[in-house]
Amino acid sequence: MSEESQVLKVRREKAEELESQGIPLFPNQFKPEDRAGAIKEIFGNYSPEELEKLEATFKVAGRLMARRDFGKAMFIHLQDETGRIQAFIKRDELGPEKFKLFKKYFDLGDIIGVEGPLFKTKTGELTILAKEVVLITKAFRPLPEKYHGLQDVELRYRRRYLDLIMNERVREIFRTRTRIVEFFRRYFSSQGFLEVETPMMQPIPGGATARPFKTYHHALERELYLRIAPELYLKRLLVGGFERVFELNRNFRNEGISIQHNPEFTMLEFYEAYATYEDLMTRTEEIFVNLARELKGDTKIVYQGKEIDFTPPWPRIPFKQALIEIGGVAEEILNDREKVITFAREKEIKIDEREPVLGKLWAKLFDALVEPQLIQPTFIIAFPVDISPLARRNEKDPTVADRFELFIAGREIANAFSELNDPRDQRARFEEQIKQRLKDDPEIHPEIDEDFIRALEYGMPPAAGEGIGIDRVVMLFTDSPSIREVILFPHLRPEQK
């Protein structure tokens, strides 16, 4: 076989023959009036006699997914967005010409229209008796195998359209994703938050510690960065007088791809004036309980075989205490930088031994020893100030920030804090960050966002803000082990020719 496989050749020849008979391959006149799901929902329980009395015809369109040929009649399954419905294609009903045309030229994968009354087969399946059947869109390529479907993970991601045709569970994941996004928008709107859009392209990437994507604007003749977080712009809006704002959109981080990381991911950030991080813990509990009830009708879900219970209140454990009690790190080790490094080496936790910031070393220990153990929803609070450059200091202990991170199923799901609004301290924190920056660390931008400081100098009301990783929330509620399962088109290396 040369450049074209046998199957593709047959399809192409069939299409050409149809066209030469004056039958259009891609007509645009057919208007379906019914959908598979609604028909089955309404008439599924009708008896054969009741169906016969209906005297109504139904008109559906969808993809031809299955075909069982009996010579002078055949059963087909047609799939639209709402589900599958069976139709019975009978020579005596259609007439010999149309029947022959269907039999010879309509293939699995074609999009077709069927019109006719409903009846029940011997086996009790609700079925459309086809009085009319038309080709709506010819498929030039065959569908994957009807029973096993499309399994190859690489192909599923590269040809997501096929994955969606073949795998109902995948369709369900993305419907759930949309429901979750809609839930957040509805929740925040109902709570008086204004949804806003701030720059995705930023002259100075800020609001997080991460390596950005760089691009170039020709007319402005300057480099721009795809945002790693919207934080610094949302806080400018607090300065501007919007007291409750949120943004739900994409962030970009130029980092590795893993089971929990995609270079572009969806983040919800919200900011609430006159609130504290403690208020946000309560709000966060409320959000997840409401979401679980809406999606599952329960405050419990099962994720990868583990039951997760959102019933509040959730434990609130100080960062250092978690390291000691959950991570099993002795307190005297934590307070000594050299001992921390030795400890990490013994435990084979990879750290940069030149790292001068003690909090960053602690964070590495936390990621390795504590995070995987936080299965039930848990707030870790009182983060070291030196890894919380945008958070307000605790009034009693200035070495920790009024900050929490939420962990569920061994993963960070949310990050929140009372916002630092003292412009002097903010400048000092930025300067310290740059000073402590390891040579050429791509995750810390060497430039201070002076306009952000200036905004704070006009006065930002005390506020608390939070970011929630939407992809990870979707993973939890769809029981998906990998972030790629909840992103329609995850990034892959280019396909080889």
Contact string 157-196 vs RNA (x = CB under 7 A) = x---------------------------------------
Does 472 sit near RNA (CB under 7 A)?
Answer: no
Tokens of 343: 């400890």
Amino acid letter, residue 468: I
Does 204 sit near RNA (CB under 7 A)?
Answer: no
Query: Is 4 marked within a binding site?
Result: no
Task: HSE, CB side, 13 Å, CA atoms: give it for residue 44.
Answer: 9
Query: Is 405 marked within a binding site?
Result: yes
Among residues 350 and 435, whose Cβ is nearest to RNA? 350
Measured between its terminal Cα atoms, the distance across the chain in Å is 18
How far, CA to CA in Å, does 160 sit from each of 377, 400, 496?
Answer: 32, 45, 17
Candidates 68, 217, 293, 316: give the one binding RNA (CB under 7 A). 68
Candidates 62, 113, 116, 144: give the one binding RNA (CB under 7 A). 144
* Sole window of 137-145, 192-200, 216-224, 400-408 interacting with RNA (rule: CB under 7 A): 137-145
Residues 105-124 that bind RNA (CB under 7 A): 107-108, 119, 121-124
Give residue 244's Cα distance to chain centre. 24
Q: What Rg value do the Cα atoms of the chain yield, rounded?
A: 29
Does 54 sit near RNA (CB under 7 A)?
Answer: no
Candidates 114, 134, 150, 267: give the one binding RNA (CB under 7 A). 150
Among residues 131 and 179, whose Cβ is nearest to RNA? 131
Widest distance between CA atoms in the chain: 89
Candidates 15, 35, 83, 86: give the one binding RNA (CB under 7 A). 86
Min dist CB 433 to RNA, Å, is 23
Does 104 sit near RNA (CB under 7 A)?
Answer: yes
Sheet holding 222-226, edge to edge: 201-202, 222-226, 214-217
Does 43 sit near RNA (CB under 7 A)?
Answer: no
Q: What angle do CA 188, 191, 195 make, to 5 degrees?
A: 40
Min dist CB 68 to RNA, Å, is 4
Q: Residues marked as binding for Mg(2+)?
A: 405, 412
Positions that interact with RNA (CB under 7 A): 1, 5-7, 10, 14, 66-73, 75, 86, 88, 90-92, 104, 107-108, 119, 121-125, 127, 141-142, 144-155, 157, 256, 258-259, 348-350, 368, 481-482, 484, 490, 492-496
